[in-house]
Structure 1
């Protein structure tokens, strides 16, 4: 039974990455463009406002990259850091625990993205497609790279 689960692991990880990235990108879109309920149920965040506008931009771009599986580890690292900043700068001063200070989403996103930094994108990622293409170099190019230089 466990071997079947182990074979499905890359697909489960890929689906996990896609769902979490989409949720994260939706937060950014809501804040930047006022869609899906907007920033706190209102409109959008004014451009250049620190830190909200930059956080929303990281959410939209990082979430989109994570959904696509493109530069997943780097995008997840930046997203995790932005959520750690959000938690400790915005939520934690209000109360100690996430349940008390409203910081549960920030804390969960932070840890989820940190996990993706270490696990990678799983299957269904553009990173894997580009890695396959770079591995499929013409044979003569690879032999030239591996051949030792001959002194005359």
Structure 2
């Protein structure tokens, strides 16, 4: 019985680089959507006020869009994820923390989740289906 469970774990471990890539792609895509909503008003969100150019919100949207694209394609994943993670930490502590201690109370759950998801990618990289992995194979 122990060997069949060991085989199952080994199969799951073998899928890790692919699943990591899928995780990166989904999280990157969702982050791009945040950036496009801020910068290009697409998709248009009724509760999102217009952002002035060069404002703090504009910079946040720019980072979300550019870092999100890099993460989505796995190009410079660790650096882009580091910047994105830091951006989400700043967003949490400057915009949400003042509204309450817990993320469920201060509506900072999304910022906190993004911060930790990107922090994970800083250490794991982009997975097997990434520009980073393709460039690494060439060298």
Same fold (TM over 0.5): yes
Alignment of 1:59-70 (within 5 A): 59-70=64-75
1:46 equivalent among 49, 52, 64:
52
Alignment of 1:20-99 (within 5 A): 20-38=27-45, 40-41=47-48, 44-49=50-55, 51-99=56-104
The answer on whether the counterparts of 1:10 and 1:122 sit within 8 Å (CA) in structure 2 is: yes
Question: Which ranges in structure 1 are unaligned for 5 or more consecutive residues?
Answer: 136-152
The answer on whether the counterparts of 1:80 and 1:109 sit within 8 Å (CA) in structure 2 is: yes
TM-score by length of 1: 0.83
Q: CA deviation at 1:118?
A: 0.6
Higher relative contact order (CA 8 A, sep 6+): 2
Q: CA deviation at 1:128?
A: 1.2
Q: State the distance in 2 between where 1:79 and 1:128 align.
A: 20
CA RMSD of aligned residues (A): 1.2
TM-score by length of 2: 0.91
Counterpart for residue 116 of structure 2: 111
Moved over 3 A (4+): 38-42
Q: Deviations over 1:118-146 (max 9, x none)?
A: 1111111001111222x2xxxxxxxxxxx
Q: Which has the higher helix share?
A: 2
Number of equivalences = 132
Q: CA deviation at 1:38?
A: 3.9
